[in-house]
Amino acid sequence: MSLRRFSPRSPAVIALLLVVVPHIAAAEETASAPDLTVTIRIEIGDRAELDVLTRLVSIENVRGHAVWAVATPRQLENLREAGWSWQVAPAMRRATEPGMCAEGWVDDGNRSWTCYPSYQQYEALMLKYATDHPDICQLVDLGPTTNTVQPHRLWALIISDHPRDEEDEPEVLLTSTMHGDETTGYILTLRLVDHLVRGYGNESEITSLVDGTELWINPLANPDGTYFGGDDTVADAIRYYTTSDGADSKINPNRNFPDFEDGDHPDGNPWWPETEAMMALAEANTFVLSANFHGGAELVNYPWDTLERRHPDDIWFRTLARGWANLVQADSPGGYFIDQENGISNGWDWYEINGGRQDFMTFFQGGREVTIELSETKLLPPGDLDELWLWNRRAFLSFVAHAQRGIRGVVTDANGTPLAATIEVLGIDREEDGSTVRTDPDVGDYHRLLLPGLYDLRIEAPDFALQEIHGVAVVDGQATVADVVLHRVIRRPTHRAAPNHGKKAPRLVLE
């Protein structure tokens, strides 16, 4: 068995957890009052109305002037008081009878993927992958969920050629179903794991990806929501987190993260344990590329969600998003994955989100995250899952391969010791967008994802003299290596006369 219990290494993260815990009970009290949610449709006149509306209800989709949202009775009352009118709309489409996997499904080498596993089958399958493929798989326990009555855990698999070792390779995170009723990504990311372990050593593309990447896959980020009706069914899955006693908390997982525009708690709630677990995971690793899979639309959504200003890598993000959309459109019948700008959208242009995970990972962690909406139907009939996999299989592999492009290298001191450094692309990165990337301090490796072109870099680490590298050429489909040695700054006295009553002024010397 290959099992690693996750333990945050950062003192900042530990302090964060200690501060948050006392607030959970208070938040549960407020959240559990209204019981029911309703899907509504609102017609807006202009964009300014949408910017206000996103703070009153949980928006699910916007097409033209039509807005679909989920609201509690309390939120509906707030809408009414603010002068809004709406129509009750059918909930986002979902299978009426989602078929569950049969007994023996986990151990069936030719298992069907046109069913939904029970929670116990999900756990058993994740463990089986790690047990059967210990050379490339490691199971990681990210911690418990909120529900203590029907407890679950958050699981991830590391897939790499040396999954227990820190190496000079990009770290990539794929995670799905933070909204518990959006289950297409849950099954597709599980199937991606299956595809990778079966193909490793047999298919060159897969072998190259696994050998050159540390890939983390967390197929189910909100098991409390997905198995709200019991561990043997997904039929009653809900969007939100639960409270500790298993009730619907009405806390939207994708509004519960710190926001660089609206502060630590833009939704007015404490961070839920599932949010804390994801924040701690991100803090303890250096994810250079990540995707968060959802349902309810069909597109790739890229930063920023929280404000209109474009990310410095906006063209790169658009290229990444267009690459996914083009592949799935080529591999599917007409009419799939064509929402917004033919399958892609800037987050703000679609609708504003405050407290979303995409912006958290991109701004606070220096990574590059997109949100991928895989299916307009949130909970697909199980018979449709097979074709969704076929339509998206190439896009999954291509997405991960993007982590091996741009500029990469290792930053060390003169003795070869890895350094915690930041890498700035001159003329592109901006401090207000948090767009510089950082090295993984365990190895000193960095991975700056860039389109083909010529770039100038500035590399900095505390107590070391900065270094600039000019004219680094990036070509399509691979990474240019630019290793860096930084020299420590040592302060030594000088014998030159100095002001201030003859005191000797220190001078800077490079080690």
Residue 285 lies in a domain: yes
pLDDT at 493: 62
Residues in CB range of 191: below 8 A, 6 or more apart:
113, 389
The C-alpha atoms of residue 208 and residue 415 are separated, in whole angstroms, by 31
Q: Flag whether 55 is in a domain.
A: no
Looking at the fold, whether 196 and 250 belong to one and the same domain comes out as yes
Return d(Cα 121, Cα 182) in angstroms, integer: 19
> Which residues does 503 contact at the CB level (< 8 Å), separation at least 6?
none
Q: 483 in a domain, yes or no? A: yes
Residue 276: helix, strand or coil by DSSP? Answer: helix
Tally Cβ neighbours within 10 Å of residue 280: 22
In a domain, 487, yes or no: yes
Is 76 inside a domain boundary? no
Catalytic residues: 373
223 and 372 belong to one structural domain:
yes
Cα distance between residue 432 and residue 434, in whole Å:
6
pLDDT for the residue numbered 83: 85
Q: Are residues 415 and 385 located together in one domain of the fold?
A: no
Give Cβ neighbours of residue 41 (< 8 Å, ≥ 6 apart).
Answer: 66, 67, 68, 86, 87, 88, 89
Same domain, 390 and 423: no
Indicate whether 504 belongs to any domain: no
CATH number at residue 468: 2.60.40.1120
Last residue of a domain, one of 403, 435, 457: 403
Do 179 and 313 lie in a common domain? yes
Same domain, 378 and 425: no
Per-residue confidence in pLDDT tens, the chain, 511 aa: 344 433 333 333 333 333 333 333 333 333 333 457 888 889 988 888 887 888 888 888 888 888 888 888 888 888 888 888 888 877 666 656 789 999 999 999 999 999 999 999 999 999 999 999 999 999 999 999 999 999 999 999 999 999 999 999 999 999 999 999 999 999 999 999 999 999 999 999 999 999 999 999 999 999 999 999 999 999 999 999 999 999 999 999 999 999 999 999 999 999 999 999 999 999 999 999 999 999 999 999 999 999 999 999 999 999 999 999 999 999 999 899 999 999 999 999 999 999 999 999 999 999 999 999 999 999 999 999 999 999 999 999 999 999 999 999 999 999 999 999 999 999 999 999 999 999 999 999 999 999 999 999 999 999 999 999 999 999 999 999 999 999 999 866 655 544 444 443 333 434 4
119 and 201 inside one domain: yes
Q: Are residues 413 and 362 in the same domain?
A: no
Q: Does 438 lie in the same domain as 384?
A: no
Q: 310 and 325 share a domain?
A: yes
The SS3 of residue 360 is helix
Q: What is the CATH number of the domain that holds 253?
A: 3.40.630.10
Which domain range does residue 458 map to? 406-491
Q: How many domains does the chain have?
A: 2
Whether 257 and 283 have beta carbons less than 8 Å apart is answered as: no
- Specify if 7 maps to a domain: yes
DSSP labels, 104-132: TTTT-TT--SSSB--HHHHHHHHHHHHHH
Do 271 and 149 share a structural domain?
A: yes
Q: Residues 98, 99, 105, 111: is their CA dihedral positive or negative?
A: negative
On whether residue 81 sits in a domain, the answer given is no
Domain boundary among 376, 403, 430: 403
Residue (of 358, 363, 469) closest to 424 by Cα position = 469
Residues found in the chain: 511
Domain check: are 398 and 410 in the same one? Answer: no
Here the tokens at position 510 are: 């490079």
Instruction: Give the pLDDT of residue 11.
Output: 34
Last residue of a domain, one of 365, 382, 403: 403
